[in-house]
Amino acid sequence: MSLILILVIIGLLAGIFSGLLGVGGGVIMIPMMVFALGFTQHEAQGTSLAVLAVPVTLIAAYNYYEAGHVNWKYAAVIAVTFVVGAYFGSKFAIAIDQALLKKIFGCILIIVALRLIFWK
What are the structural domain ranges in the chain?
3-118
- Per-residue pLDDT of 79-105, as tens digits, reads 888 889 889 999 999 999 999 999 999
Share of the chain above pLDDT 90, in %: 50
pLDDT of residue 54: 67
| Distances 10 to 1, 13, 37, 113 between C-alpha atoms, Å | 13, 5, 10, 21
Share of the chain above pLDDT 70, in %: 98
User: Is the per-residue pLDDT at 111 higher than 70?
Assistant: yes
DSSP state of 81: H
Tell me which long-range contacts 115-118 makes (C-beta under 8 A, separation of at least 24).
Answer: none
- Per-residue pLDDT of 34-86, as tens digits, reads 999 999 999 999 888 888 776 777 888 889 999 999 999 998 888 888 889 88
pLDDT of residue 44: 92
